[in-house]
Chains A and B, each alone.
Chain A
Amino acid sequence: MYGLYFHEETKIDTAVIIPVYNEASVIGPVIKKVKKHFATVICVNDGSRDGSSAQIVKAGGILIEHAINLGAGAATQTGVDYALLDPKIRYFITIDADGQHEIEDAVGMIKFLKKKDLDIVLGSRFLSQPENIPAPKRLLLKLAAIFSKGMSGVQLSDPHVGLRVFNRRFAKNLNLTMPGFAHASELVHRIGEGDFKFAEYPIQVIYNDYTRGKGQSMLNAVNISVDLFHHRISKK
Chain B
Amino acid sequence: MIAIQVILVAGFTFLFWRFLSNPGSHQVHAWIKIFTFLFTVLAIIAVIFPNTSNRLAEAVGVTTGASLLLYALTLAFIFVVINIYSRGKEDERRRALIVRRIALLEAQLRNKKKS
Contact = CB atoms under 8 A, between A and B. Distances in A.
Interface of A: 44, 62-68, 70, 74, 77-78, 81-82, 85, 177, 179, 227, 230-231, 233-235
B20 A234 contact: yes
Contacts of B22: 234-235
Interface in B52-92: 85-86, 89, 92
Report, nearest first, the 6 A-B pairs whose CB atoms are least far apart: A64-B107, A78-B100, A74-B96, A70-B96, A233-B21, A64-B103
Q: Is the interface of A mostly helix, strand, loop or mixed?
A: mixed
What is the size category of the interface that chain B forms with chain A? 20 to 34
A234 B90 CA distance: 10
Given A66-B103, A233-B21, 7 more contacts: A64-B106, A66-B99, A67-B102, A70-B99, A85-B108, A234-B21, A234-B22
B17 A81 contact: no
Contacts of B111: 62
Interface string B93-104: 101100110111
B93 A70 contact: no
A179 B17 CA distance: 22
A74 B94 CA distance: 12
Contact of B103 (A67, A85, A234, A235): A67
Q: Is the interface of B mostly helix, strand, loop or mixed?
A: helix
A65 B109 CA distance: 12
A223 B17 CA distance: 19
A77 B103 CA distance: 12
A78 B107 CA distance: 11
Interface string B9-42: 0000000010011110000000000000000000
A233 B17 contact: yes
A44 B96 CA distance: 14
A235 B22 CA distance: 6
A142 to B, nearest CB: 28
Contacts of A64: 103-104, 106-107
Most buried by A among B23, B86, B89, B99: B99
Given A82-B104, A85-B108, A230-B85, A179 B96 contact: yes
Nearest to A65: B103
Contact of B107 (A62, A74, A179): A62
Given A62-B107, A62-B111, A81 B100 contact: yes
Most buried by B among A62, A70, A85, A177: A70
Nearest to B89: A230
